[in-house]
Amino acid sequence: MEEADEATIAKIREMTEKVPRAMTNAASEAVNSVLTPEQRQKIKESQLANMGAMPVLSPNIFEALNLTDAQKQQMEGIKKELEPEFEKSLENYANVEFALWNKVVDKAAKEGIPDIALGEDEPLRKKLMAEDREYKKIQEEIQSQSQAFSEKFKIKMFDVLTDEQWKRLLALIDNPPAHAQVFGKRLRERQGENTQTGGGYVPGPGAWQPGSSAIPEQYRQERNSRRPFPRGEN
């Protein structure tokens, strides 16, 4: 990447965006074509219950709360409104990842590790987090930025919900059903959390970390203290 010209870098970034999206869409369509409505409902409930560990949220998962057509339109409007900010966040994240990857490659070269591959670089990343202040600072800054955007996005979505839907969401998060617990366990394992020792959240290489809190505590308190009134019906 350091020796590539601008045209090559632009093409790589374009493919980096298009290929994962195409693969995700194809997989999603294939799975949805064979699922029953009840199974789709359980998947969305599981995603809502574990939203604190989800990398990126889609408005579609809130359909588990029986949204009205008007609410769905509101959420799509929020998604479009925040899209430029989300794109910018992804661009910043990608740029940071390139910078951090270069540091990993440099570290590998210094330690005599040839041809370090993405996915096999976790030990080196952990070393850099412990030894390189600049690396740790960059990593923490991008995680902070992604968490801030994630909370902003979620709060706007929460504000569309009626009080009854809000209560159902809290019930899913605070007392997840069995299928949501299974999903949450697998999700944490994929993210590298050490459930045996009770360790904290440790993201794998390249993980987009939105923060461990499903609902910002201040918002939860404020929302629960409001006088009940219908929301999202307009």
Domain boundaries, the chain: 35-225
* Residue 205 pLDDT > 50: no
Q: What is the pLDDT of residue 214?
A: 84
The residue ranking higher by pLDDT, 24 or 182, is 182
Q: What is the pLDDT of residue 233?
A: 47
* Residue 228 pLDDT > 50: yes
Average pLDDT over residues 89-97: 78
Using a 10 angstrom Cβ sphere, with 0-12 exposed, 13-18 middle and 19 or more buried, the burial of residue 159 is middle
Using a 10 angstrom Cβ sphere, with 0-12 exposed, 13-18 middle and 19 or more buried, the burial of residue 166 is buried
Q: pTM value?
A: 0.68
Cα–Cα distances in Å, from 10 out to 1, 4, 19? 11, 10, 14
Q: How far apart are CA 66 and CA 60, in angstroms?
A: 11
b or e along 21-57 (b: 16 or more beta carbons within 10 Å of the residue's beta carbon)? eeeeeeeeeeeeeeeeeeeeebbbbbbbbbbbbbeeb
Of 125-134, 180-189, 207-216, which range is least confident?
Answer: 207-216
The residue ranking higher by pLDDT, 5 or 194, is 5
* Residue 10 pLDDT > 60: yes
